[in-house]
Every structure is written in structure tokens, then in C-alpha cells.
Amino acid sequence: MKTIDELLTEGVAGKRVFVRADLNVPLDGTRITDDGRIRAVLPTVKALADAGARVVVASHLGRPKGAPDPDFSLAPAAARLGELLGSDVAFATDTVGESARSVVAGLADGQVAVIENLRFNAGETSKDDAERGAFADRLAALADVYVGDGFGAVHRKHASVYDLPARLPHAAGYLIAGEVAVLKKLTEDVKRPYAVALGGAKVSDKLAVIDQLLGRADRILIGGGMAYTFLKAQGYEVGKSLLQEDQIPAVQEYIERAEKTGVELVLPVDALTATEFPDLKTKAPANPTTVAADAIPADQMGLDIGPESCKLYASKLADAATVFWNGPMGVFEHPDYAEGTKAVAQALVESKGFTVVGGGDSAAAVRILGFDETAFGHISTGGGASLEYLEGKTLPGLAALED
């Protein structure tokens, strides 16, 4: 995989460099609530601009249905990128139309532009190779060189991620190169003990990675909504907690495999429960009840791991030489159910090992809960991409960057 440093050595002055970034930031109207993904691509964009390239930044945002939708415009992200760069960033109001062509043509050496949300064009996400390829052709006309730096999208076979690199000289940006280096530390010559904390809502989203980790990790901690399917698989009452009944046989199989292979599978010993899901808008006090994890009342739902589980999980992470965490332990968006996620994050902060926060909600939680990002070994920008890499899958966006 060619790196951006090699590209810079060859020289990019005067060249139009298409940077596929991940500017898929959370928005409250037009206000960005977390600019982490924009900051993550800054080193690549700045290096190219400083070297005299005419930088064309492109990304998706949200899930528009293949047509322009003002709710998913990249205009706020473009404005924030300009603020972080300390220079004006031009914005094209379409992807490959008149505005994009005009804005790119107007760039001088060292200037940066952002084109509108790639998913406003149906060709970006099409499953039809010809339709996707036709969109990639039009994107290629805007550039001389391609730099892939949107790690959060490399697991997608999309036009700007998979098809476009085949049409231009290409290289990996600093973000992707860094993410891959970190993931190799989690899959090759791993320092032990290797502990993994997995949370989030659905166990089905994590089954494939658990399957792989049962042959690699020394201990796996399970939290979040997915924990209740594990508890139910052991025959425990989980009340109204989130439950995927159809996944119970697979979970039972994994519990048995963990026992046979000597992987320590750690489940909650207590939980914070309530009769109703909390109001995340008003964040009104929810008055949770602490109950044993194996005896959740029938009219209650588990919404976070309990205080004893917090202590248990912290102890299981304390001596680990390598830690990977993906998925919150509870409904961290509400203060009454954030302690489990805080406990895991704090354990990573205090760890002397190599710690990785696996993107997605985990990365958002770190910022929302006020942790210093520099206290972690690495915070990934791509939760889904990180998980699929750990599952052993070939990621289209990475494969496309291989020489």
C-alpha cells in the first residue's frame, strides 16, 4: 500500500488530489456536536495543501436516499474544516455537477475544497457495478490523484471508496495508515493478556467478531444491550431488557467454546434497571434500581451494568497488556446510565497496556463523557470497519489501495 509520504516525495504541487475523507459527523440541525472525524483527516489535508496540491475533499454524511437532502448537507463540515485549517475552504453544492467542476477548476495551489455529500448521488452506494462505475468516472474527472483517508467507510464497496482508486494513481492517507497499523497490533503478535470489552445494543452485530476473538483474546467482557441475550442463554430472567431470541443458540455455542478454549467470558453480575426507557431529550431523572443480573424483574429492563459489574470489569482490564473496546455498557447518553461506560473508559485510561477505543458509539462516549482523548492509546474513527477487520474480512477500501 503506497503511503501519502511517498506521494509527497514524488510531488503533488499543482495536482488535483481527491481525498476520500470521513466527515460523517453528528449534527444537531446545522451544529456539529462532535468534530472528531474532521480533526482526524486534518494531517492529510494540511500536508497536501502545504505541498501545493489542489485538495478536493469528499465524504458521505448520514443516509440520504441517493438524492439531495438539506438535512444531510456537508456544508457545516466544510465550514468546520476551514476553521480548523485556518483558511477558507470552498464548497461545491453538488457532487459531480456544474458547481463541483467550477469549484475544483477555481482552486489554486494549496487551496482546499469540499464537494457535497457523495450519497446525494445514487451511484455512490449502488450495488450495480456499472452504475457505481459511471459515478466513479465522473468523480475521477475532478482529480489527478486519489488519497484514501476515510477509514470509517473502507468496509463499504462504494464508488468513492472502491471504484475510484482503480481509476487514479492512489495512496493511503495518514489516518488510514495509522488505523491499519493499530489493527495489526490487535491481530498480529498481540501482547498479552489481551482483553476485549464489547457492548452495544445487538448481539447479532458482534457475533462474527466474537467468533474470531474466541481464538485470540484471553478474556472477553460483555455489556450493553447484547449482554441480556447472553444472560438469557444461561437461563436467567431478563425482564423487558433488549433481547434477540433468535441469537440464543449461537450465544450458547460461544459460551461453550469459551469454556473449552480457556477464554474468560465475563458477564454482568448486576444491572441498573427501570420499567421504561429513559427520556434522552430532557434527561429527566430515571431513578434506576440495582438488581442482580440473574434476577431482573419481569417488569424491568436492564439499561446499564451495575456498580459491582463496574468494579469487576475494571479489575479484568487492569492487568491487560492489550485492550480493545467497542460498544457502550449501557444507555450512556443518559446520566443515570452512564456509569458502566465511564468505568470501562476509566479502566482504559488507567491501563498501562496498549488501549484501543474501537470507534462508533465508544468514541462518541469518550468525548461526551469528558475524557481526555490523549489518555487512550488510539481512538478509531471507524467502528464498523474496525470490527470487520478484526473479523478477518477483506475491506474493499483497503484492498483498492493495494498496489
Active-site positions? 37, 202, 360, 384
Radius of gyration of the chain (CA): 22
User: Which of 71, 4, 9 lies closest to 44, judged by CA?
Assistant: 4
Best CA proximity match to 156, nearest among 127, 180, 181 = 127
Residue 36 is labelled as binding a ligand: no
- Is 192 annotated as contributing to ligand binding? no
On whether 199 is known to bind a ligand per the annotation, the reply is: no
Whether residue 62 is annotated as binding a ligand: the answer is yes
380 annotated as belonging to a binding site for a ligand: no
142 among annotated binding-site residues = no
Per-residue b/e over 50-59, b at no fewer than 16 CB within 10 Å? ebbbbbbbbb
* 138 is annotated as contributing to ligand binding: no
Q: Is 23 annotated as a binding residue?
A: yes
DSSP secondary-structure letter at 106?
T
Find out whether 37 is annotated in a ligand binding site: yes
- Tell whether 361 is in a known binding site: yes
Would you call 303 helix, strand, or coil by DSSP?
strand
Side-chain-facing half-sphere of 116: CA atoms under 13 Å: 22
Question: Does the annotation list 24 as a binding residue?
Answer: yes
Report d(CA 403, CA 399) in Å as an integer: 9
- Is 31 known as a binding-site position? no
Residue 94, marked binder: no
SS3 348: helix
Cell digits of residue 221: 467482557
Is 241 annotated as a binding-site member?
no
Contact present, 199 and 328 (Cβ < 8 Å): yes
What's the CA dihedral at 195, 200, 203, 207 to 10 degrees?
-40
Provide DSSP, 157-221.
--IIIIIGGGGS-EEE-HHHHHHHHHHHHHHSS--SSEEEEE-SS-GGGTHHHHHHHTTT-SEEE
CA distance 139 to 369: 39
Q: Are strands 145-148 and 54-58 parallel, antiparallel or unpaired?
A: unpaired
Q: Would the annotation count 61 as a binding residue?
A: yes
Give the integer Cα–Cα distance in Å for 63 and 105.
29
CB-CB contact of 369 with 341 (8 Å): yes
What residues are designated binding site? 22-24, 37, 60-63, 119, 156, 206, 302, 333, 359-362
What residues are designated binding site for ATP? 206, 302, 333, 359-362
What residues are designated binding site for substrate? 22-24, 37, 60-63, 119, 156
What residues are designated binding site for (2R)-3-phosphoglycerate? 37, 119, 156
